[in-house]
Amino acid sequence: MVQKETRDTYNGWTNYETWNIALWLGNDRQLHEAAIAVAKSTLKNVEKADRIRQWFELEAEKTVSPSSWQTDLLGHALSRVNWDEIVENYQTQE
């Protein structure tokens, strides 16, 4: 039997993938400070979300073979991240 995907939240975030990115941003001082700077910049929110998403995609390109099952899974996981929620979270931080 195939399980139907649900849209439940995870630890107060949209989903596990969003929570996981937020966790990594919150536990790396440089990333944390950079995320705050981007979130509080004068860019439009969609541009802020794209910028943060691009950090993770570029980092993934450095560590995972460009043509592999790992790349496919990572790409899927990153596509599920609610990048707007990440930006909103960092707009209120110091």
Residue 8 located in a structural domain: no
- Cβ(27)–Cβ(45) under 8 Å? no
How far apart CA 35 and CA 33 sit, in angstroms, is 5
| pLDDT tens track for 17-39 | 999 999 999 999 999 999 999 99
The model's confidence at residue 7, banded by pLDDT at 50, 70 and 90, is low
Residue 26 located in a structural domain: yes
Residue 1 located in a structural domain: no
Number of compact structural domains in the chain: 1
How far apart CA 33 and CA 93 sit, in angstroms, is 10
Residue 48 located in a structural domain: yes
Residue 27 located in a structural domain: yes
Residue 10 located in a structural domain: no
Which residues span the domain enclosing 66? 16-91
Residue 37 located in a structural domain: yes
Residue 34 located in a structural domain: yes
